[in-house]
């Protein structure tokens, strides 16, 4: 990618693909999305779930036809590195809020902390915090919270796949957390403080994995904020749309069936097939066509097909 001055803005581009962004602290997910969208001059873009303003890390962004797979990334597992401050609580559950209480000064031993963490592994029940983007009556909960309004929230069943103590220095903990969608790490920090009897809040959060994507492959927001490249020069940074679907079963079609599916028609498949459910579909020429739903009888119906311009030959026919 070579540096070239950006000329007068043209009409929005039909650009398709997934961009892995390293969102910095201080930007909302939507603000980060708009920075990237302007850099690409993209006609359509969406993010894959809110990452708090105070948090940083991996934010997969979907451009053009890739917005059709946003839901798969929204539902995917996430991994975080979290910093927890013991001995204090916060009005918001993180460092952005007012420090409200200071707990006992007695430090908790590593053994005590490990014992407390054990209770948060596996399937747990968690009440979403008031300071969250969840909506009630069309209003985000955090806006109600800022008005001093608290509403009842239903507990959710979540899965904490891994919860590992990375470091423990005085009253500061570092945790590595792999969890299911909808997990609020600030709520976990608050609950951990309650179990330890000293209070706690989330002092820092960085997302390092979302579904099949890892932070190590993400690009800095500054690269797009400077906009020193032409919009098309950024295209080489995009991943193909089906990169988000690696864990979704694959179905390969012959030329005839691919033609029918492209026309929105269901087709009957007779080859060895995965079980019923959502599948990613490819032509005999290794072109990603989109997603379909397969029933128990082998009937494949179109679900979310890619436009002709977004259909591309894949490098690995796997």
Candidate list 22, 52, 94, 242, residue with the active-site label: 52
pTM of the model: 0.89
In this structure, are 158 and 232 located in the same domain?
no
Q: Look up 52 and say whether it is catalytic.
A: yes
pLDDT of the residue at 128: 81
Residue 6: inside a domain, yes or no? Answer: no
> So what's the pLDDT on residue 6?
45
Q: How many domains in the chain?
A: 3
- In terms of domains, do 203 and 83 share one? yes
- How big is the CA angle at 138 (ends 137 and 143), to the nearest 5 degrees? 95
For residues 274 and 98, give the distance between their C-alpha atoms in angstroms, rounded to a whole number.
Answer: 52
- The pLDDT score that the predictor gives to residue 23 is 97
| Statement to judge: residues 184 and 197 lie in one domain | yes
Asked whether residue 65 falls in the same domain as residue 179, the answer is no
CB 248 within 8 A of CB 278: yes
| DSSP conformational letter for 127 | P
**DSSP states of 38-83 as a string?**
HHHTBS-EEESS---TT-EEEEEEEEGGGGGGHHHHHTS-EEEEEE
Residues 67 and 93 both lie in one domain: no
119/203 same-domain check: yes
Q: How far apart are CA 28 and CA 21, in angstroms?
A: 13
Does residue 318 fall inside a structural domain?
no
Indicate which CATH number applies to the domain containing 53: 3.30.2350.10
Is 199 found in the same domain as 146? yes
4 lies in a domain?
A: no
Residue 280 domain-assigned? yes
Q: Which domain holds residue 183?
A: 78-210
Same domain (yes/no): 83, 231 = no
d(CA 21, CA 267): 38
- Across 187-202, b (16+ Cβ under 10 Å) vs e yields bbbbbbbebbebbbbb
Q: pLDDT tens track of the chain, all 318 residues?
A: 655 444 455 789 999 999 999 999 999 999 999 999 999 999 999 988 889 899 999 999 999 999 998 888 888 999 999 999 999 999 999 998 899 887 666 688 999 999 999 999 999 999 888 777 777 777 777 787 787 778 888 888 999 999 999 999 999 999 999 999 989 999 999 999 999 999 999 999 999 999 999 999 999 999 999 988 999 999 999 999 999 998 899 999 999 999 999 999 999 998 778 889 999 999 989 899 999 999 999 999 999 999 865 555 554 444
| Residue 262 and residue 142 in one domain | no
Given the DSSP bridges, would you call strands 156-169 and 122-126 parallel, antiparallel or unpaired? antiparallel
In CATH, what number is assigned to the domain containing residue 298? Answer: 2.30.130.10
Shared domain check, 117 and 173: yes
Q: For residues 205 and 55, is the Cβ–Cβ distance under 8 A? A: yes
- The pLDDT, as a whole number, for residue 105 is 63
Residue 94 per-residue DSSP state: B
Instruction: Say how far apart CA 133 and CA 149 lie, in whole Å.
Output: 15
280 and 237 in one domain?
no
Together in a domain, 66 and 96: no
| Cα diameter, the chain | 72
């Amino acid at each position: 990618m070579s540096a070239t001055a950006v000329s007068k803005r043209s009409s929005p581009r039909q650009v398709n693909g997934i961009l892995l962004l390293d969102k910095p602290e201080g930007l909302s997910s939507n603000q980060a999305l708009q920075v990237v969208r302007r850099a690409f001059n993209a006609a359509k873009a969406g993010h894959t779930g809110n990452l708090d303003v105070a948090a940083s890390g991996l934010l997969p962004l979907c451009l053009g036809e890739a917005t059709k797979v946003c839901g798969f990334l929204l539902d995917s597992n996430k991994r975080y590195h979290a910093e927890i401050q013991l001995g204090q609580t916060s009005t918001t559950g993180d460092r952005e809020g007012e420090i409200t209480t200071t707990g006992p000064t007695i430090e908790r031993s590593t053994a005590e902390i490990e014992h407390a963490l054990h209770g948060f592994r596996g399937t747990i029940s968690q009440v979403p915090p008031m300071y969250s983007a969840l909506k009630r009556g069309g209003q985000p909960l955090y806006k109600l919270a800022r008005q001093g309004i608290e509403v009842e929230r239903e507990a959710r069943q979540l899965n904490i796949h891994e919860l590992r103590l990375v470091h423990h220095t005085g009253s500061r903990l570092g945790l590595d957390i792999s969890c299911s969608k909808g997990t609020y790490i600030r709520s976990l920090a608050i609950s951990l403080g309650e179990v330890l009897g000293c209070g706690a809040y989330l002092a820092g959060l960085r997302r390092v994995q979302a579904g099949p994507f890892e932070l190590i492959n993400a690009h800095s927001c500054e690269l797009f904020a400077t906009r020193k490249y032409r919009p098309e020069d950024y295209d080489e940074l995009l991943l193909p749309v089906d990169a988000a679907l690696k864990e979704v079963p694959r179905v390969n079609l012959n030329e005839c069936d691919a033609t029918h599916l492209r026309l929105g028609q269901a087709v009957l498949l007779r080859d060895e097939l995965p079980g019923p459910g959502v599948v990613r579909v490819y032509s005999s020429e290794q072109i990603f066509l989109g997603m379909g739903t397969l029933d128990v009888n082998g009937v494949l119906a179109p679900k979310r097909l890619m436009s002709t311009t977004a259909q591309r030959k894949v490098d690995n026919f796997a």
